[in-house]
Amino acid sequence: MPGFELFGEEERKHVNDVMESGVLMRYGFDGMRNSHWKAKTFEKAFAKRMGAEYCQLVSSGTAALTVALASAGIGAGDEVIMPTFTFVASFESIMALGAVPVLVDIDDTLTLDPKAVEAAITPKTKCVMPVHMCGSMARLKELKAICEKHDLILLEDACQALGGTYDGKPLGSYGDLGCFSFDFVKTITCGEGGGIITNTKQFALNADQYQDHGHDHIGNDRGAETHPHLGYNFRISELHAAVGLGQLEKLDTFLAIQKKNYTILRNELSKVDGVTFRTVPEGGEENYSFLNFFLPTQELTEKAHKALGEAGVDACFYWFKNNWHYINGWEHLRHLKSMGNLPQEIQNQIQDLNNTNFSKSDLWMGRTISSLVKIGWSEEQVKERALKMKSVIENSLYSHHKSTL
Ligand SMILES: *Cc1c(COP(=O)(O)O)cnc(C)c1O
């Protein structure tokens, strides 16, 4: 996945343009900047590539989620439905606005289970936030139908699925708003950065203002601009946008390499009896940033994961026992360990996460291993990795039988 594996002339050229003018800010200084507008150019190109009307760049993927929620009018006491398997940014962005995260189970897609979503809807629900984890998507058609029925915002977190599609549309462009991260380990990177896409003009306008202290961005004198709403500073710098612009030019090359490497790994693992793969909803195509597979039981999965590590197969993740991506590891959320007081709405409304039954999620997560798909691997390295993974997993699944025979 990580775009940083293939830095080159493209990024250097755009960064040099910025360094030569010395304008590191995305707004203003028109005379000094030699016509270089890296953030603006990125936004235009990204919207086009994603088939969306509007794009707003911001300082991180977490900022993208926060700004997207704020732009849709979500605030204190509003409930946002999110999955148990995701990155911590999901609840961080919701809670930053005083809104209340409502965690629900995932299914064999490793993303939101539509039935669990529908069951969690209350009069306070405002938004459903599917997270397309590890390169593949949620059941978007079902989720959209639920959102339309209950008049809810559908906000896609596509931070890990840039380049995947559903129903012929780029992930992130199917819902009302889509969010992306360009942090250092994502498919394309700005170093730090994030993006929001939408077709709703009002959301785009709100995002544009909110991420820059509420500035209306009208006219040529920044100091004279007015502020229709309260905002914050989630701006991206021109330097970060420059790196991202270089990466964006190579996105389709990165995706093609990912698919090729993924296919080699998958073909080899398909030969192992007992390995099954994560469900990709009909009409969806992954971005191939991870190969996600299930083993028959939690015990065997833990054993295989440990064996893979011992055999030197790097970048295989067992999220079930990981600090950052599954509810099991979010002790700080479960016990609401905040440095200061949390908004009353969160304190009053948040579900008792220590006593909520997430056994359906546990069943899938306990059996899931994800192998990162790197774009810097040579074909030989991928083939070697595939054979090694196959033999280690086979050993983990069947050595017991052999030794008892
Ligand atoms: C990386 C990531 C984010 C947050 O992005 P940052 O740019 O690191 O803030 C949010 N959601 C998911 C699913 C991610 O993988």
Measured distance CA(184)–CA(163) in Å, rounded: 17
User: 66 CB under 6 A from ligand 1?
Assistant: no
The model's pLDDT over 142-166, given as tens digits with 9 standing for 90+, comes to: 999 999 999 999 999 999 999 999 9
- Does the pLDDT value for residue 35 go beyond 90? yes
Residues 6+ apart with CB under 8 A from 55: 42, 43, 44, 46, 47, 195, 196, 197
65 Cα nearest atom in ligand 1? 10
Mean pLDDT of 283-298: 98
Residues 6+ apart with CB under 8 A from 285: 164, 165, 166
What is the reported pLDDT for 127? 99
HSE-CB of 55 using CA atoms within 13 angstroms: 24
Question: Which residue out of 1, 62, 92, 325 has the highest number of ligand 1 atoms within 8 Å of its CB and is therefore the one to mutate?
Answer: 62
User: 114 CB under 6 A from ligand 1?
Assistant: no
181 Cα nearest atom in ligand 1? 7
Mean pLDDT of 34-59: 98
User: 86 CB under 6 A from ligand 1?
Assistant: yes
The percent of residues above 70 in pLDDT, for the chain, comes to 99
Q: 352 alpha carbon to ligand 1 midpoint, in Å?
A: 25
- Does the pLDDT value for residue 401 go beyond 80? no
Domain 3-250 class in CATH: alpha beta
Q: Give the residue range(s) of CATH 3.40.640.10 domains in the chain.
A: 3-250
Secondary structure element (H or E) that encloses residue 166, with its range? strand 165-166
- Does the pLDDT value for residue 236 go beyond 70? yes
The model's pLDDT over 16-34, given as tens digits with 9 standing for 90+, comes to: 999 999 999 999 999 999 9
Mean pLDDT of 52-67: 98
Question: Which residue out of 160, 162, 184, 240 has the highest number of ligand 1 atoms within 8 Å of its CB and is therefore the one to mutate?
Answer: 160
User: 61 CB under 6 A from ligand 1?
Assistant: yes
What is the reported pLDDT for 402? 52
Widest CA span in the chain: 82
Mean pLDDT of 218-240: 96
183 Cα nearest atom in ligand 1? 7
Buried (b) or exposed (e) across 192-205, using 16+ Cβ within 10 A?
Answer: bbbbbbbbbeebbb
What is the reported pLDDT for 88? 98
| Closest to 269 in 3D by CA, of 163, 387, 384 | 387
Q: Taking the chain, what is the end-to-end CA distance rounded to the nearest angstrom?
A: 42
Mean pLDDT of 271-283: 98
- What's this model's pTM, rounded to 2 decimal places? 0.97
What is the reported pLDDT for 404? 47
The CATH code for residues 252-403 is 3.90.1150.10
| Closest to 71 in 3D by CA, of 241, 201, 197, 210 | 210
- Does the pLDDT value for residue 374 go beyond 50? yes
Question: Among all chains, which residue has been given the structure tokens 């965690």?
Answer: 103
Q: Which of 38, 186, 303, 374 is catalytic?
A: 186
| Closest to 402 in 3D by CA, of 296, 394, 270, 311 | 394
Q: Cα–chain-centroid distance for residue 276?
A: 24
Whether 186 is a known active-site residue: answer yes
The count of other CB atoms within 10 Å of the CB of residue 230 is 10
What is the reported pLDDT for 400? 61
Mean pLDDT of 363-372: 98
User: 361 CB under 6 A from ligand 1?
Assistant: no
What is the reported pLDDT for 256? 98
Q: 221 alpha carbon to ligand 1 midpoint, in Å?
A: 34
The model's pLDDT over 172-223, given as tens digits with 9 standing for 90+, comes to: 999 999 999 999 999 999 999 999 999 999 999 999 999 999 999 999 999 9
Secondary structure element (H or E) that encloses residue 68, with its range? helix 61-71
What is the reported pLDDT for 154? 99
The count of other CB atoms within 10 Å of the CB of residue 314 is 10
Q: Give the residue range(s) of CATH 3.90.1150.10 domains in the chain.
A: 252-403
- Does the pLDDT value for residue 405 go beyond 60? no
User: 156 CB under 6 A from ligand 1?
Assistant: no
The model's pLDDT over 312-334, given as tens digits with 9 standing for 90+, comes to: 999 999 999 999 999 999 999 99
